[in-house]
Amino acid sequence: MNNYFNTKRTSEEYFFKEMSTEKELLEELMAIVDKCIDLFEAKAGNSNGYHLICGISLIKARNYFLICLSSALDGLAQEGGALLRPMLEYIELLQYFQEDSARVKQAQEDKLPNAGKRAKMINSSFQDLRKYLNEEASHSSFKENSIGHVVTNSDNLLKNQNFSEKNLSTNIQFILIFLYYMAAVSVNCLNIQEQGSAEKEAIQLMIIREQRMKKLDIVVRNITVK
């Protein structure tokens, strides 16, 4: 019998039972992201497109995050890394719009600069990671980092990736960093346009960073909640 779903079942059981702190952190961050989507939607009709475009960007980033999470649970985090890149690009888009709200017109007219140019314009913290993903995950590669989980040193092919506590823990904590960035940039997008409109969520994020994330030794750099 094929065990396509065995890894996900085992991963989910382990995540819910043994990684309760990470699970709670994910749920708290996702609740902030969802609240930001609601706030964007509430003002979407009267902001010259700013809140609508930011809301769409956030939903796209959220969707890519969920796919990356599902891939990690499947034991396919390396392949899921190919979708980490567009998730980062949507997070960067939020920062791009936050720094100059008039830029949403570029999105409306399909005239946005390419992702690399936008990253340079906002001095993105993710440029090195994007380069790594480009080399190891986003394109076909036979480097060790790309194929080490599908072939052994004895040239045995591994058609199914088995559950690994260490890999799951590492990969979940890794993508939680980007969920935090997603939430923080979204809060900033809202507060920059209307000071205090996401003040509650900003306070929640600061508490999460200082308490929840420090407890897990998850370090977040180069992002300030405004």
Q: What is the pTM of this model?
A: 0.88
Task: Report the distance separating Cα 209 and Cα 102, nearest Å.
Answer: 31
Give the tokens for residue 144: 């060790």
For each successive 10 residues of the chain (226 residues), what is the average pLDDT?
79 96 97 98 88 97 96 89 90 96 96 94 82 59 64 71 91 94 96 90 95 90 80
pLDDT at 1: 44
Q: Is 43 exposed, middle or buried (0-12, 13-18, 19+ CB in 10 A)?
A: middle
Give the tokens for residue 153: 């040193």
Task: Report the distance separating Cα 120 and Cα 98, nearest Å.
Answer: 15
104 within 8 A of 112, measured Cβ to Cβ: no
Q: Map out the domains of the chain as residue ranges.
A: 17-215
